[in-house]
Chains A and B, each alone.
Chain A
Amino acid sequence: MAKNLYEKVFDRHVVSRLSSGQYQVFIGLHLVHEVTSPQAFALLRDRGLKVKFPGRTFATVDHIIPTDIASRQRPLQDSLAEEMLQAIESNTKEHGVAFFGPHSGHQGVVHVIGPELGLTQPGMTIACGDSHTSTHGAFGSLAFGIGTSQVADILATGTMSLGRLKVRRIKVTGKLGAGVYAKDVILAIIRKLGVNGGVGFAYEYAGEAIEAMTMEQRMTLCNMSIEGGARIGYVNPDQVTFDYLKGREFSPKGADWDKAVEYWKSIASDADATFDDEVVIDGASLAPHVTWGITPAQSVAVNESIPAESDFIESERPLIREAYEYMSLEANQPIEGVKVDVVFIGSCTNGRLSDLQEAAKMVQGQTGKVASGVQALVVPGSEEVQKQAEALGLHKIFTDAGFEWREPGCSMCLAMNPDKLKNRQVSASTSNRNFKGRQGSPAGRTLLMSPVMAAAAALTGQVTDARKLFHLENKA
């Protein structure tokens, strides 16, 4: 019988049916960071348990790490952050787990380093105590964000308890226009299906626009599946996937490579596979998107105005009013022209090399600099991204234009480190969440957008259609 990727991969990883009716599922790659793991390691210690598969467990530090070079000196100035860093260092050492710390050459946002090391591969089950683990689905893996109790379950047993999901195929047809990226596609999908539209579903992304995306674009897409309520999202592995993985540190080598590629092809959804639901999006008609509110579904195309309350059903209106008030924006106001104070280019959503390259390319073609009064941060997703970007001279392009070039980490995506908005500042951010207070100030305001749109906002000091500013036109 024809099967989709979710069914094939899930079935191969089932260990047992638990008494609750849930499935015990083997997790082939467990990624660990400093925020959601210390209590799990403590639990193992309390119960006298060891990490069951230390060789399939990899750790780094990303959330709390400062991004200015002076502040990375040990001990960290924030004693709580230092305590967390020490905890993950000692926990991983005690259990024989690889830890990619600062200056290891591999430190970075956990969802950036997994793929770039070749740890993330098609057909795997992956888990991490972080909701954006869905990122790794870009390779055709099933990648679950989990809580700390489940981190402990996986550390101790290599497995977790899971129910089966339904699968919704989202087909994005056509060719994306110039200046339109995966970020715009996923914001448009979430706008259409809602922040809870994906609850109970895995999202399979398919169609011409997805097939044409690079792996880094597919990662951006899958990364924000969780913002649409879907715990996991994936793209079927193809030649783009294999080309990305070839030669990476943990990728299969030599004679194994060809066999691995055959295996990976075999786990893709069959041509006649069935799905529980299907949604079609016209990719060719999409424009750059910008969020205006306090959930990732509250977005508009850059050439649109903020919607009126009457555009929504009654039960959604209180949240729309709350968003107007919190953001100090009004119905029918064009999103273009909204002033920004801070620009953040980075995160597990958009902190990879190609994100920085696209933004730098636009900045380089301009004579102007970062607008007066605007602070613009560029935070590479990993030490490897930083190294490659610097080899290409991107840091110079950014700093010459008045951007700050930082060290790798999660930074202002969630502001657990010193990078925070102040008071009611408005941020043009390439991250994934525009929740109230998300970027470190309880009154801070976030507008989510692509790196190229964020670069445009940095130069003009306001939400700007990057296609116009950078003269991006569709080539016939």
Chain B
Amino acid sequence: MQATAAAIIESVSGRAVPLRGNDIDTDRIIPARFLRCVTFDGLGEHAFEDDRRGLAAKGEVHAFDKPEYQGAKILFANKNFGCGSSREHAPQSLMRWGIEGVVAESFAEIFFGNCVSLGIPCATVGEAAIGRLLAAAEADPAASWVLDVKAREIRGPITEPVTFLDGPRSQFLSGQWNPMSELLSHLTEVEQVASGLPYVSGKW
């Protein structure tokens, strides 16, 4: 976690890795057996481990195993990416593999929130646009892309407008994507709200 090192994130630049498929869940991103740990160290190498092995057994290659996508920083995905378990180990493993930003048709909510806390901008685009982006990243793995939080677009061999939720976008642009410091600055108000709740105060 980088709670103490929050910084302004205006864009993410690098190559893009395309990952087709709807409803890719966090068990697939990082299988549960790798959650037996007390730190997030080393999770990067296990990202998509079972999907990668499963494809390899069939003589196919997962995008995360293809040499041309090693070092990619932006992930392109389809609908409901990151659904299922709340495990932050999922975005942690993607981040430690090298992913710094994600463009997808849609995201599952907890995964999205975890990405914000880690400083990973997640942008959405429509079905046709993600189709074009996936195809472009497949056609030219070496292409450079910029996921521009400020300009709300993804630029590379093609350019597409993207949508960021306003709240998280302003968090990235202000460097406040990890909210702990701001939450800590309101502890007096926290105590006021808490003491006004009957189940906390005991004054039913």
Q: Which of B7-15, B22-30, B67-75, B135-143 sits within the interface?
A: B22-30
Nearest A-chain residue to B80, judged by Cβ? A196
Summarize B's interface: helix, strand, loop or mixed. Answer: helix
CB distance A149 to B54 under 8 Å?
A: no
CB distance A149 to B33 under 8 Å?
A: no
Q: For the complex, what is the distance from the CA of A315 to the CA of B134, rounded to whole Å?
A: 15
Q: Which residues between 284 and 313 of chain A lie within 8 Å of chain B, taking CB atoms? A: 295
**Which of A28, A52, A159 is within 8 Å of B197, CB to CB?**
A28
B32 within 8 A of A: yes
Nearest B-chain residue to A154, judged by Cβ? B183
A440 within 8 A of B: yes
**Contacts of B190 on A, CB cut-off 8 Å?**
15, 24, 26, 52, 157-159
Q: Which of A93-101, A255-263, A330-338, A375-383 sits within the interface?
A: A255-263
What is the total of A-B residue contacts with beta carbons within 8 Å?
A: 231
Q: For the complex, what is the distance from the CA of A123 to the CA of B204, rounded to whole Å?
A: 12
A177 within 8 A of B: no
Contacts A84-B38, A229-B83, A433-B84 given; indicate if A16 touches B189 (C-beta within 8 A).
Answer: yes
**Contacts of B183 on A, CB cut-off 8 Å?**
18, 24, 153, 156-157, 159-161
CB distance B200 to A56 under 8 Å?
A: yes
Contacts A15-B193, A145-B110, A150-B117 given; indicate if A260 touches B28 (C-beta within 8 A).
Answer: no
Nearest B-chain residue to A439, judged by Cβ? B32
A46 within 8 A of B: yes
One digit per residue, 1 when the CB lies within 8 angstroms of any chain A CB and 0 when it does not, for chain B 30-70 equals 01110111111000000000110110000000000000000
Nearest A-chain residue to B41, judged by Cβ? A39
CB distance A436 to B50 under 8 Å?
A: yes
Q: Which of A124-132, A167-175, A205-213, A390-398 sits within the interface?
A: A124-132
Q: For the complex, what is the distance from the CA of A156 to the CA of B86, rounded to whole Å?
A: 20
One digit per residue, 1 when the CB lies within 8 angstroms of any chain A CB and 0 when it does not, for chain B 158-190 equals 000000011110110010101110111011011
Q: For the complex, what is the distance from the CA of A158 to the CA of B193, rounded to whole Å?
A: 11
Q: Which residues between 391 and 415 of chain A lie within 8 Å of chain B, taking CB atoms? A: 414-415
CB distance A318 to B27 under 8 Å?
A: no
Q: For the complex, what is the distance from the CA of A26 to the CA of B188, rounded to whole Å?
A: 12
Q: Which residues between 10 and 24 of chain A lie within 8 Å of chain B, taking CB atoms? A: 12-16, 18-22, 24
**Contacts of A263 on B, CB cut-off 8 Å?**
198, 204
Nearest B-chain residue to A442, judged by Cβ? B50
**Contacts of B204 on A, CB cut-off 8 Å?**
252, 256, 259-260, 263
**Which of B35, B50, B167, B194 is within 8 Å of A22, CB to CB?**
B167
Taking the closest CB of chain B, its distance from the CB of A201, in whole angstroms, is 9
Contacts A26-B194, A80-B36 given; indicate if A149 touches B1 (C-beta within 8 A).
Answer: yes
Q: For the complex, what is the distance from the CA of A153 to the CA of B107, rounded to whole Å?
A: 22
Q: For the complex, what is the distance from the CA of A78 to the CA of B118, rounded to whole Å?
A: 30
Taking the closest CB of chain A, its distance from the CB of B190, in whole angstroms, is 5
Taking the closest CB of chain A, its distance from the CB of B2, in whole angstroms, is 9
**Which of A12, A52, A435 is within 8 Å of B28, CB to CB?**
A435
A54 within 8 A of B: no
**Contacts of A22 on B, CB cut-off 8 Å?**
167, 171, 179
**Which of B118, B180, B200, B202 is within 8 Å of A157, CB to CB?**
B180
B106 within 8 A of A: yes
**Which of B3, B31, B51, B186 is within 8 Å of A149, CB to CB?**
B3
Q: For the complex, what is the distance from the CA of A64 to the CA of B37, rounded to whole Å?
A: 11
Q: For the complex, what is the distance from the CA of A131 to the CA of B22, rounded to whole Å?
A: 19
CB distance A436 to B187 under 8 Å?
A: no
* Range class of the A interface residue count: 35 or more
CB distance A146 to B113 under 8 Å?
A: yes
Q: For the complex, what is the distance from the CA of A21 to the CA of B31, rounded to whole Å?
A: 34
**Contacts of A252 on B, CB cut-off 8 Å?**
204
Q: For the complex, what is the distance from the CA of A160 to the CA of B51, rounded to whole Å?
A: 33
CB distance B36 to A416 under 8 Å?
A: yes
Contacts A47-B4, A433-B84 given; indicate if A42 touches B23 (C-beta within 8 A).
Answer: no
Q: For the complex, what is the distance from the CA of A145 to the CA of B146, rounded to whole Å?
A: 32
Q: For the complex, what is the distance from the CA of A93 to the CA of B86, rounded to whole Å?
A: 25
CB distance B27 to A231 under 8 Å?
A: no
Q: For the complex, what is the distance from the CA of A20 to the CA of B178, rounded to whole Å?
A: 11
* Max chain A Cβ within 10 angstroms of own Cβ: one of B33, B85, B118: B85
**Contacts of A56 on B, CB cut-off 8 Å?**
200
Nearest A-chain residue to B131, judged by Cβ? A315
**Which of A47, A124, A130, A231 is within 8 Å of B3, CB to CB?**
A47
A199 within 8 A of B: yes
B155 within 8 A of A: no
Nearest A-chain residue to B91, judged by Cβ? A147
**Contacts of A438 on B, CB cut-off 8 Å?**
27, 32
**Contacts of A147 on B, CB cut-off 8 Å?**
86-88, 91, 110, 113-114, 117
6 closest Cβ pairs, A-B complex = A149-B117, A147-B88, A259-B204, A147-B114, A38-B38, A196-B80
Q: Which of B's residues lie within 8 Å of A, judged by CB?
A: 1, 3-4, 20-23, 25, 27-28, 31-33, 35-40, 50-51, 53-54, 79-80, 83-89, 91, 106-110, 113-114, 117-118, 127, 165-168, 170-171, 174, 176, 178-180, 182-184, 186-187, 189-190, 193-194, 196-200, 202, 204
17 more CB-based (< 8 A) A-B contacts, given A259-B204, A435-B84? A18-B183, A24-B179, A39-B38, A43-B3, A84-B37, A146-B113, A148-B88, A149-B3, A149-B117, A156-B184, A158-B194, A159-B190, A161-B183, A231-B110, A433-B84, A435-B25, A437-B27
Chosen A-B contacts, 24 in total, with CB atoms closer than 8 Å, are A18-B179, A19-B171, A20-B168, A35-B35, A36-B86, A38-B39, A63-B35, A84-B38, A146-B86, A147-B87, A147-B91, A147-B114, A157-B187, A159-B183, A195-B80, A196-B80, A199-B109, A229-B83, A229-B108, A259-B204, A437-B27, A437-B50, A442-B31, A442-B54
